[in-house]
Amino acid sequence: MATTATRSEKLDLRLTREAKRALQQAAAASRCSVSEFALESALARADEALAERRRFGLDAVQWKAFVAALDAPPRPLPRLERLLNEPGFFDAGPRR
- Tell me the pLDDT tens digit for each residue of 42-80: 999 999 889 878 777 899 999 999 999 999 999 999 999
**Interatomic CA distance for residues 35 and 71, integer angstroms:** 47
pTM: 0.52
Q: What is the mean pLDDT of residues 3-13?
A: 85
First to last CA, the chain: 51
- How many other CB atoms are there within 10 angstroms of residue 11's CB atom? 8
**Interatomic CA distance for residues 61 and 57, integer angstroms:** 12
pLDDT at position 21, please? 97
What are the residue ranges spanned by the domains of the chain? 17-87
Q: What is the mean pLDDT of residues 16-39?
A: 96
Binning pLDDT at 50, 70 and 90, where does residue 5 land? confident
pLDDT at position 28, please? 97
